[in-house]
């Protein structure tokens, strides 16, 4: 059985551009090895945007050395990047962007959502790349809701959408560079579920809404809190107190240095200096007008 290692909480909210009111629950400047291969977890919303004339969001900016995974629950985000990748993600869709050797992108509310406004809720998770893949070619996987398989949990406890990795032999569509599970889990009112999480993986359960109790100890977590479990052991049993919306993340720790500055995460200070030099000299390409 996995035990609770620590409960991670946001230290306060901030805006990313004018489109993403986020609570940053963890970032790579603290406990980067404990959280490996995950680098950052921003919970955007829940929030209600009024209708607007111009799309809110964040303009062109670079990334290098990792992947950004954006999971849309409510609202719509349109993305364009320097590889020519792009698209709109809607509730249930996931954007898995591989920055790797370098990408420039922009993230804005879609024109349709801008016009109507309404509820907004997204997660952006940064997944580190192994050192050998950090300079790989950038890429973009737009995963639609229809492509993401659903597993019904035992005893009618709820359901899990398998974005990456595998549950009960059902595989998620995301291609990853290292072993990762990413499951969108909904627990029905007061349900209890036992999850089998890989021994040796960093394992986290993010509570997006509701509250869950880890039945082993009676400790729990509520909205915008992440339960990080020990790497030893494999099973965790959770009881929902009411309905609960969870994001379950596990990953094989990379065990490599994490040296980052803003949108660049590499394994040495020299690599970070190189990232700034490459970006400033235009080697990340451009988003086509
Ligand atoms: Mn970005």
Reply yes or no on whether the pLDDT at 11 is more than 90. Answer: no
177 CA distance to ligand 1 centroid (A)? 19
DSSP 240: E
64 CA distance to ligand 1 centroid (A)? 10
61 CA distance to ligand 1 centroid (A)? 6
3-state SS assignment for residue 111: helix
Q: In what order do the strands lie in the sheet with 139-143?
A: 13-16, 20-26, 38-49, 118-128, 66-74, 94-98, 139-143
Judge whether 213 and 239 are in contact, CB under 8 Å: yes
246 CA distance to ligand 1 centroid (A)? 23
- CA-based nearest residue to 82, from 100, 55, 70: 100
203 CA distance to ligand 1 centroid (A)? 24
H/E stretch holding 269 reads: helix 269-280
Stretch 12-35: mean pLDDT, rounded?
97
Stretch 207-235: mean pLDDT, rounded?
97
User: Cα–Cα distance between 186 and 74 in angstroms, integer?
Assistant: 15
Stretch 226-248: mean pLDDT, rounded?
97
230 CA distance to ligand 1 centroid (A)? 30
pLDDT of residue 252: 98
Reply yes or no on whether the pLDDT at 204 is more than 80. Answer: yes
107 CA distance to ligand 1 centroid (A)? 7
Is-above-0.95 flag for pTM?
yes
Confidence class for position 230, pLDDT limits 50, 70, 90? very high
H/E stretch holding 112 reads: helix 111-116
pLDDT of residue 261: 98
3-state SS assignment for residue 127: strand
260 CA distance to ligand 1 centroid (A)? 15
pLDDT of residue 85: 87
Compute CA distances 194 → 75, 222, 260, whole Å: 31, 18, 36
Across all residues in the chain, what is the average pLDDT?
A: 97
Confidence class for position 92, pLDDT limits 50, 70, 90? very high
User: Cα–Cα distance between 54 and 31 in angstroms, integer?
Assistant: 38
182 CA distance to ligand 1 centroid (A)? 20
258 CA distance to ligand 1 centroid (A)? 19
Residue tagged 């991670």 (tokens) = 8
Stretch 215-225: mean pLDDT, rounded?
96
Confidence class for position 30, pLDDT limits 50, 70, 90? very high
pLDDT of residue 157: 98
Stretch 49-66: mean pLDDT, rounded?
97
Reply yes or no on whether the pLDDT at 289 is more than 80. Answer: no
Stretch 187-212: mean pLDDT, rounded?
98
207 CA distance to ligand 1 centroid (A)? 23
Judge whether 248 and 166 are in contact, CB under 8 Å: no
Judge whether 230 and 2 are in contact, CB under 8 Å: yes
DSSP strand pairing (244-251 vs 180-187): antiparallel
161 CA distance to ligand 1 centroid (A)? 24
3-state SS assignment for residue 276: helix
Stretch 10-18: mean pLDDT, rounded?
94
- CA-based nearest residue to 87, from 106, 100, 65: 106
């Amino acid at each position: 059985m996995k035990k609770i290692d620590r409960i991670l909480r946001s230290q306060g909210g901030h805006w990313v551009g004018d489109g993403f009111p986020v609570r940053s629950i963890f970032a790579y400047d603290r406990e980067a090895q404990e959280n490996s291969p995950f680098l950052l977890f921003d919970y955007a919303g829940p929030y209600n945007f009024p209708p607007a004339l111009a799309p809110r969001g964040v303009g062109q900016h670079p990334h290098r050395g990792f992947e950004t995974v954006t999971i849309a629950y409510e609202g719509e985000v349109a993305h364009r990047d320097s590889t020519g990748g792009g698209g709109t993600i809607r509730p249930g869709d996931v954007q898995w962007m591989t920055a790797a050797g370098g990408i420039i992108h922009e993230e804005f509310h879609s024109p349709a959502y801008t016009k109507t406004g309404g509820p907004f809720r997204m997660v952006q998770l940064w997944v580190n790349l192994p050192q050998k893949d950090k300079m790989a070619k950038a890429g973009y996987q737009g995963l639609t809701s229809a492509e993401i398989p659903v597993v019904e949990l035992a005893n009618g406890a709820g359901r899990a959408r398998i974005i990456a990795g595998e549950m009960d032999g059902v595989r998620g569509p995301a291609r990853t560079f290292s072993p990762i599970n990413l499951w969108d889990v909904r627990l029905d009112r007061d349900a209890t579920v036992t999850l089998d999480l890989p021994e040796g993986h960093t394992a986290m359960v993010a509570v997006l809404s509701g509250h869950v109790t880890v039945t082993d100890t009676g400790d729990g977590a509520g909205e915008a809190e992440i339960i990080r479990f020990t790497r030893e052991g494999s099973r965790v049993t959770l009881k929902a107190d009411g309905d609960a919306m969870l994001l379950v993340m596990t990953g094989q720790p990379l065990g490599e240095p994490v040296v980052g500055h803003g949108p660049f995460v590499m394994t040495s200070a020299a690599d970070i200096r190189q990232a700034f030099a490459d970006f400033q000299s235009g080697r990340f390409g451009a988003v086509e007008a």
